[in-house]
Structure 1
């Protein structure tokens, strides 16, 4: 019994030290393999239409098949409320690429062109933020 309790205490200490170590390690962008981020915000013509939002999200899921995309994230405004947060958009689409050249290839990929053709009637406004990693 004492050995089992002692083992649990040691285990808890090890887990606690590991967690503290992870929290103390700062994130460094140089460790991310992606060099180029493409972040798109969409405002729908009919922002309260759930089917339009679903169609846009479905289109983005299909768009994720473009081969030069390293990673992607589809999102909606988070339930955060601070003065600096803009929650007016309907859907966001964040992509990472290994290079600007890969992002350029994405722009002319037939899958991307089809997405624009099929989904652009849904949106009233699109804003894009591109950024490159600092070496």
Structure 2
């Protein structure tokens, strides 16, 4: 199992129309046929010193293996998302996990 976790910080000047564009882009992106499970959300309201909730959106995607993840990365949906939405974020951070489950 390959778990792909991505956090996005949008530009502070991002308006409602651009946010809708970003949310639509995330929805389409995460419906790629290589994705087994998907979670999209905003930071939880938890508050502890070890929690970073400074991001605007987080995405967690599960793939059967690294090859499926790599196919997703090269796929049309991912490329379209980058072309249409990359200008909306000031920072992106990715954490990938390999799991034997």
Q: Same fold (TM over 0.5)?
A: yes
Which structure has more strand as a fraction of its residues?
Answer: 2
Question: Following TM superposition, where does structure 1 have runs of at least 4 consecutive aligned residues deviating by more than 6 angstroms?
Answer: none
> Which one of 83, 93, 97 corresponds to residue 127 of structure 1?
93
Q: What count of residue pairs does the alignment treat as equivalent?
A: 101
SS for the counterpart of 1:37 is: strand
When the two structures are superposed, what TM-score results if normalisation uses the length of structure 1? Answer: 0.70
Is 1:82 paired with 2:48?
yes
Q: 1:134: how far off?
A: 4.1
Look up the match of 1:24.
Answer: none
Look up the match of 1:29.
Answer: none
Unaligned runs of 5+ in 1: 1-34
Give me the CA root mean square deviation: 1.5
Unaligned runs of 5+ in 2: none
Bigger relative contact order, structure 1 or 2, given CA contacts below 8 A and separation 6+? 2
SS for the counterpart of 1:118 is: helix
